[in-house]
Chain A
Amino acid sequence: MDGLHNWTLAAPEIFLAAAAMILLMIGVYRGERGADLVSSLCVASLGIAIFLVLRLEHGTAYHELFLVDAFTKMMKVLSLLAAGIAIVMSRSYFVLVGVWRFEFPVLVLLATLGMLVMISANDLMTLYLGLEMQSLALYVTAAFQRDSERSTEAGLKYFVLSSVASGMLLYGASLVYGFAGTTSFPGLARGFLAGDVATGAIIGLVFVLAGLVFKISAVPFHMWTPDVYEGAPTPVTALFSVAPKIAAMSLIVSVVMGPFRPLLAQWQQILVAVAVLSTIWGAIAALRQENIKRLMAYSSIANMGYVVLGLAAGTEEGVRSVVIYMIIYLAMNVGTFAVILSMRRKGVMVERISDLSGLAQRQPMMALALLLFMFSMAGIPPLAGFFAKLNVFLAAINAGLYVAATIAVLASVVGAYYYVRIVKVMYFDDPAEAFDRPVERDMAVVMLATALFVFPVFPVFQAPFMNGAQAAAKTFFSGR
């Protein structure tokens, strides 16, 4: 009976792994022509996986290596959604540059499998394996456009720097294991609660956090982000900016709120520093960017800063604000990238901010969608982004992090400048040469759905999202 229990709890992961292998075989036998089929089947598999996740019971499996609760289920659904949308958005780009191959959706599927394992990690070993599974697939997708020098460079840079981060994480994990004597999250929590905290374990925690913070590209481990975002194929950038962030963020949440919760005083300082630095640097460095993909890189750095600030509060309210922020961030980012992916002239992708000038006169609906995303990211009420930031700041202030919250608010004001600048370019500058029309149907659907979510769906119907996030946050505070 116990054995069967294991299989049912990991059903989405097992399904995704099997689906990835079967789709790989289909792709191999159908050759290049199979790419469209494999891609739609991948999206379908992700959909089925969402369904399987929603039906999961709560509990631990595989001798406490693997955990399913309301929080992990929520985060898994978000990552699956982000990965599915990324695959849908990738087709037209790769067809355009001539590398539309069936391996891409399969690799995204495998990366998503890694994310699910990460999110469900209940042991340092599961954590590491999930992280590596996800990263390894993502390195390859970054270099997927292998005849492009920039894509290869992005892949290599991401690989080398990310390996260093993985090394730090492993070193930290080994220190934690050495001093605490176990790698299991519940075991660590019990040990630390008993007041048996060695300095070595705290140093280990710092290294583990450094490795994880790298994955969400928060300052001071953000160096790779602009280059990788700019160099990687745009759909891959769209994927990078959402799905892995959700998975890594949820991992940070479950690590600090789970095994290391008794060490709140220690990790709170780290997270506050990371949050403050990220928000400041994300806002200031983005001011002079001309390339919209680089701009989005700095924007994601700043956004991660706000999320980390919410987590640094260390309260139930804080975790709830993290979950809500990730939901809204998913919608805003995916929508913006749908617009970026539609920026092409005569079949060539363009990615400079000045290319957007006068968009309002050429394509008013697309301009309106981007306006909603930009205002939302800037945090202007009544758009969804405002509520995301509001929750984070409230959580931080209620936890007594006044200085950090003030600095973050000020940074968000600075950051609003570059978001609003894009709106200004679109609405008040002389029109540039028109983009290709019509916009791809997939992109239009994604844009429309996310824009509707940002406004008016989220601001008007907040209750279900709030309740979901509340239920997710509660898992850490009510004994699982």
Chain B
Amino acid sequence: MIHALAFYVFAAVTVVSAFMVISARNPVHSVLYLILAFFNSAALFLLMGAEFIAMILVIVYVGAVAVLFLFVVMMLDINIAELRQGFLKYLPIGAAVGIALFAEILLALGAWSVSPVAAGSLRAKVSDVPNTEALGRLIYTDYMFLFQAAGMVLLIAMIGAIVLTLRTRPGVRRQKIAAQIGRRREEAVVLVKTRVGEGVSS
């Protein structure tokens, strides 16, 4: 009972916030609604017992992707009025494409049949190991090589991003801690006797 209730609450919030993503006037609000949708989808995964995917969804999508979107949206100067200009004009075409796609999905679902082999393996409960641990066992044993190779791919991506964007500009003032500490009193402080009302002119 409580399980079903939780499902409907999370599902409803997901759908509503997903709708708000595309209908919100302010792009920053859109991204915030997107984050809300991610959180609720994570909760839905949790209800299904897929706690690993739930965690990944929060860490990767909320933690990285959505924040990146937020940065992009805030950095780029998006003119909302201009974006919305052709909305009504293109609405019929957009709606037609949407309906066609939806009809195709319905047709595909109507003709869907699960192979008996797949059905068997879907039902079979492999073990009582929680799925994070099960994934870890696979990744660190059978797929060790692929895991490491994927790590190398990410390293290359990182090097590439740095190579293509990092520029050493001349004339940038940086903090030189050694020089700061090495300074002596004589180099830094000058005592000047001043008379009242005249000030210092070096």
Binding site for B on A (CB under 8 A): 6, 10, 17, 21, 24, 61-63, 65-66, 101, 103, 106-107, 110, 113-114, 117, 125-126, 129-130, 132-133, 136-137, 139-140, 143-144, 146, 155
Contacts and interface: CB of A to CB of B under 8 A. Distances in A.
B159 A62 contact: no
A139 B160 CA distance: 8
Given A65-B143, A66-B145, A137 B150 contact: no
B159 A103 contact: yes
B152 A146 contact: no
Interface residues of B, number: 18
A232 B152 CA distance: 24
A441 to B, nearest CB: 28
A6 B146 CA distance: 13
Interface in B119-155: 142-146, 148-150, 152-153, 155
Contact of A65 (B146, B156, B159, B164): B146
B163 interface: yes
Given A130-B149, A146-B164, A62 B157 contact: no
B145 A110 contact: no
Contact of B149 (A61, A106, A117): A117
Interface of B: 142-146, 148-150, 152-153, 155-157, 159-160, 162-164
B144 A107 contact: no
B150 A129 contact: yes
Nearest to A14: B148
Q: Which of B144, B146, B150, B160 has the most CB of A within 10 A?
A: B160
B160 A132 contact: no
A204 to B, nearest CB: 17
Contacts of B143: 62-63, 65, 125
Given A65-B146, A125-B146, A110 B152 contact: yes
A113 B151 CA distance: 13
Q: Closest 7 A-B residue pairs measured CB to CB?
A: A140-B160, A62-B145, A129-B149, A103-B163, A136-B156, A63-B142, A133-B153
User: DSSP class of A's interface residues: helix, strand, loop or mixed?
Assistant: helix
Given A63-B142, A65-B143, A126-B145, A136 B150 contact: no
Contact of B145 (A10, A24, A103, A143): A10
Contacts of B149: 117, 126, 129-130, 133
Contacts of A137: 156, 160
Q: Which of B144, B150, B153, B164 has the most CB of A within 10 A?
A: B153
A144 B166 CA distance: 12
21 contacts: A10-B145, A17-B152, A61-B145, A62-B142, A62-B143, A62-B145, A101-B163, A103-B162, A103-B163, A110-B155, A113-B152, A114-B156, A126-B146, A126-B149, A133-B149, A133-B152, A133-B153, A136-B160, A137-B156, A140-B159, A140-B164
A140 B145 contact: no
Contact of B159 (A63, A107, A129, A132): A107
Contact of A24 (B150, B153, B157, B159): B159
B200 to A, nearest CB: 43
A132 B154 CA distance: 10
A133 B159 contact: no
A24 B142 CA distance: 29
Q: Which of A6, A117, A129, A146 has the most CB of B within 10 A?
A: A129
A170 B176 CA distance: 50
A21 B154 CA distance: 13
A133 B155 CA distance: 9
Contacts of B162: 103
A129 B160 contact: no
A107 B163 contact: yes
A17 B164 CA distance: 21
Contacts of A17: 148, 152
Contact of A107 (B146, B148, B153, B156): B156
B145 A132 contact: no
Contacts of B150: 129
A15 to B, nearest CB: 13
Nearest to B117: A181
B48 to A, nearest CB: 22
Contacts of A66: 145
A129 B156 contact: no
A125 to B, nearest CB: 5
Contact of A136 (B144, B145, B148, B153): B153
Contacts of A61: 145
A140 B153 contact: no
B142 A144 contact: no
A113 B156 CA distance: 11
Given A126-B146, A133-B152, 8 more contacts: A106-B159, A107-B159, A107-B160, A110-B156, A126-B145, A129-B146, A137-B156, A146-B163
A133 B156 contact: yes
A130 B162 CA distance: 22
Nearest to B168: A32
A144 B160 CA distance: 9
Contacts of B164: 140, 143, 146, 155
